[in-house]
Amino acid sequence: MPGPHVPARRIRSILHVGTTDPDPENEGHRRGRPGTRRGWWSGLRARPIVDQVLAAVLTAAVLGVFGLLLRVLLPNFSAPSGQSSDVGVPGFARDRAVPLTSAGYDEDPAWSATSNLIAFSRRTEGVSDLFLVDPSTRQETRLTDDRFPDGTPAWAPDGRQLAFASKRSATTQLFVIDTSTGHVEPLTRTGLQATSPSWSSQGRIAFVQRTDGTGSIYVLTPSIDLLSPLVVDQGNSEAPAWSPDGAILAFESDVGGDDDVFVVRADGTGLVDLTADTGGNDGAPAWSPDGRWIAFASDRAGNRDIYVMRSDGSDRRQLTPDVRNDRGPTWSPDGRHVAFVSERTGIRALYVVAFNP
């Protein structure tokens, strides 16, 4: 004889082990595990496949909009891929140059080998002064503020002083400034124009001395107050730059007609033209910290861009293919970035770009 009728809901409740009364919150999730509460993900698995696809598309769209808002509202935001924080430049990307300054007519960048500071000159109201900029914050510090034009700064080996050229006397001469105190002292009193110093790791200062507009390279040893010629009768010589060990000097000269990058030993021997076969004007050489590479400016592609080559003149590469003129390269302390001057936004400013050997 059949027993009394028991509703299906009651049967399911009785069969649930350890459960005497149905949980009201489980009533809407009867497909789930008996006697347990279920999270939102369980409902997602229970949906038809079309619902899951729509949910995934909606999530991707929301994340895409969020990323776009970050780029618009936070232009200096750095994403983890394709970015570098080695020089601490906000928004720095490996495949493009990033501006460091934008306030004036900037020239002559010199990156300190002992700190993350770049010295440069800025012309305002017809007079140039010396500044420092920290690439990680873009914070600037003014070093000189007077009526004398100051330029071509070069760091001392200890990173505490800068040699620079200034017309604080009858002719442009070299001076030295303490970057912490601002105290200035003269370095040269030659009676001829002296510009473009380069301070070697041994404490010797190479610079350009002009006679009737033609530059020759001399070397000053401040510790013994000795001034001696190094490169003379080589056309118009400019932009001397010591190798990191102080054994070789790179410089620019037009002795062959076009401007080329030359190297010479510290004793004046072993003169070599590194860019004789380029057919363009090459100059403003700068050594990498390890001495393996030389960055320089060249107009071989039509306008002036930044190039790099090995210290023997081989393996030349274009670093900044841009339609605007770039000049004045200088290396970061780790040798992985090059700062330079560019006019690509209509004003002359400092930029930085990555270098991958």
Does residue 30 sit in the same domain as residue 130?
A: no
DSSP 290-348: TSSEEEEEE-TTSS-EEEEEETTS-S-EES---SS-EEEEEE-TTSSEEEEEE-TTSS-
Does residue 235 sit in the same domain as residue 120?
A: yes
Does residue 224 sit in the same domain as residue 272?
A: yes
Within-domain flag for 92: no
Residue 123, token pair as written in the block: 């012309």
Q: Is 235 helix (H, G, I), strand (E, B) or coil?
A: coil
Within-domain flag for 119: yes
Within-domain flag for 59: yes
Does residue 223 sit in the same domain as residue 314?
A: yes
CA dist., res. 231 & res. 234, Å (int): 7
Does residue 17 sit in the same domain as residue 161?
A: no
Domain that holds residue 224: 98-354
Does residue 177 sit in the same domain as residue 312?
A: yes
Within-domain flag for 91: no
How far CA 18 is from CA of 14, 21, 27, in Å, comes to 9, 9, 16
Within-domain flag for 3: no
Does residue 37 sit in the same domain as residue 184?
A: no
Does residue 43 sit in the same domain as residue 149?
A: no
Q: Other CB atoms closer than 10 Å to residue 19's CB: what's the count?
A: 15
CA dist., res. 136 & res. 118, Å (int): 11
The model's pTM is 0.74
Q: What is the pLDDT along the chain (357 residues), one digit of tens a residue?
A: 444 444 444 333 333 333 334 343 333 333 333 343 444 334 434 445 545 545 554 555 545 544 444 333 333 333 333 333 455 555 555 558 899 998 779 999 999 999 889 999 999 888 999 999 999 999 999 999 989 999 999 999 999 999 999 999 889 999 999 999 999 999 998 889 999 999 999 999 999 999 888 999 999 998 888 899 998 888 899 999 999 999 999 999 998 889 999 999 999 999 999 999 877 899 999 999 999 999 999 999 888 999 999 999 999 999 998 888 999 999 999 999 999 999 888 889 999 999 998
The pLDDT value given to residue 318: 94
Cβ 310 vs Cβ 293: under 8 Å: yes
Report residue 75 CA to chain centroid gap. Answer: 18
CA dist., res. 282 & res. 27, Å (int): 81
Does residue 329 sit in the same domain as residue 190?
A: yes
Within-domain flag for 204: yes
Does residue 38 sit in the same domain as residue 116?
A: no
Within-domain flag for 208: yes
SS (H, E, C) 243-288: CCCCCEEEEEEEEECEEEEEEEECCCCCCEECCCCCCCCEEEEEEC
**207-216: Cβ within 8 A, 24+ apart:** 207/163, 207/165, 207/174, 207/240, 208/237, 208/238, 208/239, 208/240
CATH number, domain with residue 140: 2.120.10.30
DSSP 140-178: EEE---SSS-EEEEEE-TTSSEEEEEE-SSSS-EEEEEE
- The neighbouring-strand residues paired with 140 are 133
The candidate with the shortest Cα–Cα distance to 101, out of 120, 85, 124, is 120
CA dist., res. 94 & res. 84, Å (int): 7
Q: Other CB atoms closer than 10 Å to residue 237's CB: what's the count?
A: 25
Side-chain-facing half-sphere of 30: CA atoms under 13 Å: 7
> For the chain, how many structural domains are there in total?
2
Does residue 150 sit in the same domain as residue 262?
A: yes
Residue 139, token pair as written in the block: 């914070």
Q: Is 114 helix (H, G, I), strand (E, B) or coil?
A: coil
Does residue 252 sit in the same domain as residue 211?
A: yes
Within-domain flag for 28: yes
